[in-house]
Structure formats: C-alpha cells, structure tokens
Amino acid sequence: MNRNFFSRIVLIIAFTLTGIIPSVQQAKSAEDSNWWLTPHRLLQTNLREIDATMDIDKYVREVEEFGANIVLFNVGGIVANYPTELEYHWRNTFMKGDLVGETLKKLHKADIKMIGRFDFSKINEKYVANHPEWLYVSEKGEHVNYNGQVHTCVMGGYQQDYLLEILKEALTKYPLDGVFFNMIGFPQVDYSRNFHGICQCENCKESFKDFCGLDLPKHDGDTQALRKHQQWKSIQVDRQFGRVRDLIKSIRSDIVICTYTTEHIDLIRKESGAPLGRETWDDVERAQWTLLTTENKQLANTTVHFYQMIFRHSAAAPYLHSRRLWQQMVNGAWLDFYCIGPLQRLEDRAGIGPISNIYRFHAANEKWLLDTESAAEVGLVCRDGDDYWGWVQILSENHILFNLVSFEYSDLKRYRALIIPESGGVKAEDARALDAYVEGGGKLLLSGRIPNKLTCLGQPVLKKTWPLRHSMYVRIRPEDKAELDVDGLKDFDLVQLRGDFHQYEPASGTGRMLRLIHDVMYGPPEKCYYRSVSDIPALLLRKHGDGIAASFPFQIGAMYREWGNLGHPMLAVGTLDNLLQTGRRVKIESSPLLEATHRRDPKGRFEWIAFYNHSGRLENSFHPPIPIDNVRISLKTSRPIKQVTSLTNRTRLTPSDNSSDEMQISLPRLNVFEVILVEYGR
Ligand SMILES: [Zn+2]
C-alpha cells in the first residue's frame, strides 16, 4: 500500500466532508504533519541514568555516522533527564546540566529528530509515602518495589493526572518530535518475572464495581468477572490514551505518538527480540501484516541488540539484526535498532557494522525506498501454523514473489494467484469472495480441506479423511510429471504424506492428478513395501468462469515444513507455474538461500527487486553470508527501460536484450544484500 497516497485520500475525504477545498499549500503542510508515514531510521539508545555523563557531541556524531535520522531518547517518567520543576519527577542525579535540552538542540542542528521516551509504570520510592493511592497493589495486598522503583497503577493519580503534568512540562519546554510510552497498561509481573496478579488498589476496586457491579477478581477468580475485567482494562487503557493523545496533539499536531498498542497512536512499536530469531520470515510478516491491517499508521519494529532482559549488554548475532532490518526495510516499514546506552559505551559492538550498513544504504537510497508499494503478483493468505509457514518457505525459496493478504483488508483481484494454507477453515463469506475471484479470472490454490461453501471446485463430496499416523505416499505418475513440467521431478516417483488426507469424490469436469498410496506396510525392511496405488487423486483442478482452482487435499506446506523433502515444493511450484499458469513477471535463477522482494514506484517511474542472502546461518549462529555469484533475473515489461542499476555499488547493469518485452540481466555477485533498480523513460 502506498501510505502517503492513503493519507492524501483521507485528507481529501475529510476536507470534502467539511466542505472546505484545500489549497495545495494546506494539503502539503497537512501531509508534512504526518511525516512519520515516511519510513525513518530510528536508533534507540536506551539511556541508563549513568549515561547522563556521556559525551553529547560524540553521541550526535555517532548517530549521524550510524545512518539514523531519528533517535528514541529517555526524557522522563522513571528518571527526568532534564531539570524538571515538578515535585514528583525524579531528576537524574548523575546529570550536571540539561541532557535532553542540550542533546536535542545538537540533534536538530544535524537534522536528526528526537522521540522522547517516557515510562510512567514506576515511581521513585522516595515519593510513595505521600501518595500511596498512586500505587499498584498486588493480590497479596503489597506494593511492588523493584530496585527502588515502585509500581504505579493506571487508575491512580500518577498515571491519570500527574503523567499529563510531566508531558506538558517536557513538551512545552522542548520541541520534541515524538513521544514514546514504555510499559503501558496493567502489567502483572516485575522484571524478574515474579507474578503479582491483578491490581487490587482502591481505585481499581471502585472503578470496576462502577463498571459491572462485581467485586474485583484475582487472576484465578470467577470466569465471568475475569472476562469483565478484560473488557474494563481495555476501556481504561483506551480512555487514558485518548486523554494523552488530546493533550499531546493540543500542544503540537505533528508530534508523533508511539507505543505498543494501535489505538490513539501514529507509530506502532514492535520488537524482534528472540535471541536466535523466530521464523526466518518473521519480520516480513510483521512488516507486511502491520502495514496491511492498520490504516494510516506506520511500524517501527525494533531489532533488540541484546539477548534477554538479564543480559542487556551482550548482543544477538550481527547478521540476525541485519536480516531483520532488511526485511522491515524492503517491506516499507521503518528501520529500528535498540541498544542499552549510547553507542560510545556499548561493550558488544560486533553488530554495529552490519547494522549501520543497512541504515546507510537506506539513507543513500531514500529516493528509491521511501515511497513504494508491493509489486508482488501472488497473494498468500496470512494464517498461523505449519502449513502457512511451509508455504512462506516454498514461495521464498523458489523466488515466487508474494504478498501476505487478508480477506478483510486486501484487494484480492489485484493478484494473479491466491494461495490459501489450511483452507478448511475459510469462512462462508470468504469462500464466496474466492468464488468471485476465480470467476473473474483468478488462479486459486488450496492446501488442506476444501471449504464447504466454496463452489468453484464443484463442491466435491468428502468421502473420508485418512488419519494422521497412517503411512502414506503421493504417487507422481509420468503423466503428472509431464503436466507439472518441473525438471527436478524426474528423480521423484513419490513423496511421503503424513497428516490428514481428505479423500474427495470430485465433481464432473474436475482434473484429477497425482494418486494416493495408502496400502503401505512398514516394519522390518523385508516387509516395507506397498502393494497398490489407489485411484484417489491428490490434486484436483477445475475451471470456473474465467479462472481456475486447484486443491491439494492435504497440507502440502506443513509437509515441507516438517520434513524438508524437496519433492513437495516442486509439486507446489509446478502447479502454480504450469497447471494454473500463473505467469511470473519476474523470474530469478539463483540459490534458494536468496530472498527476493519486488516493489515499485506508485507513479510508475521505477520498480526494484531486492535480494537478501541467507547463506550465513548455521545452527545458532548467523555468520557473514557466502557471496552468491551470477544471479540471473528476467523481467517482463512493456515499457522502454531507461537504465538498470545495482544500488549497493551504483553500477549499471546491461540488459542482454532490451528490445524484447523480457529483459534479462545478471548480477555478477550478491554479497549480503542488493537492490536492482529498473528505471523507465517517460
Ligand atoms: Zn489499581
């Protein structure tokens, strides 16, 4: 989605509704006030109180050299890093002058923005005697004092009112560009993960009683009260953020509000902090899904420098950070890196080089990276589970450029093909949308059970579901190989099948491919063979309207994820390419360890194909990737190409034949990452 475009549309609608026609200048300034919709490069140096003594000039220089254009900087809450005049705001005792004021002035001079970080979840123990009603009360009836910081409650006066005083002071004293809130809501644990339960303070008790007439429950209390408590909590957080937003925006409308929720804020914060990374494509999903499902907001998904809370000074592998940042960047989100203390005091600096390489690349190529939209032509419906992640891997490894899509938020018609993992769970209304999609010429591929209400496959009758633990195979017959037309299948006459297999009686006019082998003996090798191949198809195909639908009646993605057998992806790719004839605009010949992304300028002046090299990963380590040579790319285009450039080293690549409608180029070497830019003439 082109987010700037979206914001413009919203503005135009808003102005039209109010009967005001904006002048170009008005529209422009309103657009500038949503500056955060443009991807920025955020560096969070989460300052300890002792960092007030850091060298500020060096700090600013390091931020610049790192390639960031915005910092997330500790301003207030637990510790005030400026000379606050408020009685209950703890002034940093290590600070000599005005840390926020001096740093902000220097950052702004260097054209770097600052988002102020505030944490109101705790207050210094020196203040609590005067205001016990501000505090969180555990289920044991105790306050929680963690290293001299005492937990406060959302419903207490500190978070309800004093917070606004602190924000007002900071935001009127300093021209901060944004505000970030840490530790929002109703936490029930402390930093050591000790569980303290639902807050039992008088404010909570009273407000909850007013809300539903019930007594405030404990975490193991009555189910109905706990359900009500969930509702009540979200109403309270919503109300509090609404008030905070009103205050901030009344001071200056261009102050960005950022935190971990989605309501009343502008910039959504998330964290990739699992020490070994989670899924290889976790950050692709976070970026694509967040930007798809939250209108007119942006995402700052931070890659967390350290392993865990208890090892805040030791870092996760450099090329894990590199991968995460790359995946956020090429999917249109912010770059965001978070470490403890300023860079000048970092004691594990191994990642700084690879990380800032990506920041500097983004800085040098803003023209091509800031305002783009996905050009992928295959949609993968976003779900959870093994089948979904298996499909992500199949598509990525085979360089089938895809977008995560949702029935609710995506324009399905824009995709040449749609893939539905775990398709049995598709709702009736979504099945109708899929029928219309196929009717209009779409190519649909299902994995798993066929949805009951789906008609484009002729509503085949489910005869039996073969159970999970039955030893089975899928026979790939010579005629299947001929039609699937994938070279590698010459070495496969079968692939294993574990998991539910849905045996259908297909409707007339349905193509039946592949065959189920279920008559399998296993045990001692002498007795390991099958005696027959059934006539039950393992792939159904049917034309419907102008399109075509196909179904693997088992979760083929889950098979690949669980076993990594190379036959399953070949069946999937052959189906997409040669049975459904999806037609790829971009073809890439290279290692499966190369991840590709395709985006374009909304105005059509350029498009690019980005590559990331995953080859450095071995077990728990992420090493520098091994260079991949001679990456061949072909791109179908009907327009005259002005030039093709490799953006990492600014070299021109010469298409082998620029006269036909299929341009061929070769990238001599892919090191860690690359963007191949294709510019068009007028
Ligand atoms: Zn409370």
DSSP assignment string, 50-103: GGGGS-HHHHHHHHHHHT-SEEEEEEESSSBSS----TTS-B-TT-SS-HHHHH
**48 CA distance to ligand 1 centroid (A)?**
28
Whether the CB-CB separation of 61 and 71 falls below 8 Å is answered with no
Cβ–Cβ < 8 Å for 403, 444: no
Spacing, Cα 155 to ligand 1 middle (Å): 5
77 CA to centre of ligand 1 in angstroms: 18
pLDDT at 9: 40
Classify residue 21 by burial, with Cβ atoms within 10 Å: 0-12, 13-18, 19+. Answer: exposed
- Side chain identity at 115, as an amino acid letter? I
State the pLDDT confidence band at 278, using cuts at 50, 70 and 90.
Answer: confident
CB-based contact 10:4 (threshold 8 Å): no
Ligand 1 centroid – CA 72 distance (Å): 29
Q: Cα(72)–Cα(100) distance, rounded to whole angstroms?
A: 11
Q: Tell me the CA–centroid distance for residue 153 and ligand 1, in Å.
A: 5
User: Using CB atoms within 10 A of its CB, is residue 116 exposed (0-12), middle (13-18) or buried (19+)?
Assistant: buried
Question: For the residues of 21-46, what is the DSSP string, one character each?
Answer: PPPHHHHHHHHHHTGGGS--EEEEEE
* b/e burial code for range 590-615 (CB count within 10 A of at least 16 → b): bbebbbbbbbbbeeeebbbbbbbbbb
Ligand 1 centre distance from Cα of residue 134 (Å):
8
Å from CA of 151 to ligand 1 middle: 10
Taking phi over 0 as left and psi of -120 to 50 as alpha, with beta for the rest, 509 belongs to: left
* Separation of CA 391 and ligand 1 centre (Å): 45
How far, in Å, from the CA of 136 to the mean position of ligand 1?
A: 5
pLDDT score, position 659? 64
Question: φ and ψ at 312, to 5 degrees?
Answer: -75, -5
Q: What distance in angstroms lies between residue 226's CA and the mean position of ligand 1's atoms?
A: 15
Region of 422 on the Ramachandran plot (φ > 0 left; ψ -120 to 50 alpha; else beta): left
Mean pLDDT calculated for residue range 242-252: 95
Compute the distance from residue 259 Cα to the ligand 1 centre, in Å: 21
In the predicted structure, residue 610 carries a pLDDT above the cut 50? yes
Distance 13 CA to ligand 1 centre (A): 41
Mean local confidence (pLDDT), 525-550: 96
Question: How confident is the model over 312-338, as pLDDT tens digits?
Answer: 898 899 999 999 999 999 999 999 999
Question: What spacing in Å lies between the alpha carbon of 115 and ligand 1's midpoint?
Answer: 29
Percent of residues, the chain, with pLDDT higher than 70: 95
211 CA → ligand 1 middle, Å: 14
Gap from CA of 203 to ligand 1 centroid (Å): 6
Please tell me the distance between residue 131's alpha carbon and the centre of ligand 1 in angstroms.
Answer: 13
Q: What are phi and psi of 420, to 5 degrees?
A: -120, 100
CA of 199 to the centre of ligand 1 (A): 5
CB neighbours of 588 closer than 8 A, spacing ≥ 6?
399, 594, 596, 609, 631, 632, 633
Structure confidence by residue, pLDDT tens digits, 567-594: 999 999 999 999 999 999 999 999 999 9
d(CA 535, CA 139): 63
CA 93 to centroid of ligand 1, rounded, Å: 29
The answer on pLDDT for 276 being more than 80 is no
Exposed, middle or buried by CB within 10 Å (0-12, 13-18, 19+), for 80?
buried
- Å from CA of 86 to ligand 1 middle: 23
Q: How far is ligand 1, taken at its centre, from the CA of residue 194, in Å?
A: 18
For residue 47, the CA-to-ligand 1 centroid distance in Å is 28
* Tokens of residue 521, six digits: 């003996």
Distance 24 CA to ligand 1 centre (A): 49
Centre of ligand 1 from the C-alpha of residue 148, in Å: 19
Residue with tokens 């004293």: 173
Beta bridge partners of 42: 70, 336
Tell me the CA–centroid distance for residue 267 and ligand 1, in Å: 27
pLDDT at 150: 95
- Choice between 204 and 10, residue whose per-residue pLDDT is larger: 204
pLDDT band at 272 (very low <50, low <70, confident <90, very high): very high
The gap between the terminal CA atoms of the chain, to the nearest Å, is 24
Q: What percent of the chain has pLDDT over 90?
A: 86
Residue 570 and residue 484 in contact, taking contact as beta carbons nearer than 8 Å: yes
CA of 217 to the centre of ligand 1 (A): 12
622 CB-near residues (< 8 Å, 6+ apart): 277, 317, 318, 319, 320, 322, 323, 616
Q: What is the mean pLDDT of the chain?
A: 92
> What tokens does 45 get?
């140096």
pLDDT band of 10, cuts 50, 70, 90: very low
In the reported structure, the alpha carbon of residue 215 is separated from the centroid of ligand 1 by a whole-number distance in angstroms of 13
pLDDT of residue 301: 97
Q: How far is the CA of 87 from the centre of ligand 1 (A)?
A: 22
Q: In angstroms, what is the span from residue 240 Cα to ligand 1's centroid? A: 14
Identify whether the C-beta of residue 299 lies closer than 8 Å to the C-beta of residue 286: yes
Lowest model confidence (mean pLDDT) among 21-25, 46-50, 354-358, 420-424: 21-25
**Phi and psi at residue 91, to the nearest 5°:** -80, 130
What's the 126 CA to ligand 1 centre distance in angstroms?
20
- Could you tell me how many residues make up the chain? 682
352, pLDDT greater than 50:
yes
| Rounded distance from Cα 657 to ligand 1 centre (Å) | 70
What is the band of 311 on the pLDDT scale with cuts at 50, 70, 90? confident
pLDDT tens-digit map of 164-181 = 999 999 999 999 999 999
Q: Separation of 204 CA from ligand 1 center, angstroms?
A: 4
Cα(386)–Cα(7) distance, integer angstroms: 36
Q: Separation of 256 CA from ligand 1 center, angstroms?
A: 28
Q: Backbone phi, then psi, for 206, in 5-degree steps?
A: -65, -45
Assess whether pLDDT exceeds 80 at residue 210. Answer: yes
Nearest-angstrom CA–CA distance, 415 and 400: 13
Measured between alpha carbons, how far is residue 524 from residues 286, 519, 530 in Å? 47, 16, 13
Among 33-37, 252-256, 469-473, 530-534, which is the least confidently predicted range?
469-473
Q: Tell whether the model's pLDDT for residue 620 goes beyond 90.
A: no
**156: CA distance to ligand 1 center in Å?**
7
Query: What ranges in 398-497 are assigned the alpha helix state H?
Result: 428-439, 478-484
596 dihedral zone (left: phi>0; alpha: psi -120 to 50; beta): beta
| Sheet containing 145-146: order of strands | 122-124, 149-151, 145-146
CA of 198 to the centre of ligand 1 (A): 8
Distance of CA 143 from the midpoint of ligand 1 (Å):
11
* Alpha carbon of 261 to ligand 1 centroid (Å): 20
Query: How many alpha carbons lie under 13 Å from residue 394 in its C-beta half-sphere?
Result: 33
Quote the ligand 1 centre to 137 CA distance (angstroms). Answer: 6
Dist. CA 611 → ligand 1 center (Å): 50
Q: How remote is the CA of residue 208 from the centroid of ligand 1, in Å?
A: 10
d(CA 83, CA 97): 8
Compute, in angstroms, the gap from residue 461 CA to the centroid of ligand 1. 56
Task: Name the token pair of 46.
Answer: 């989460």
CB 84 within 8 A of CB 146: no
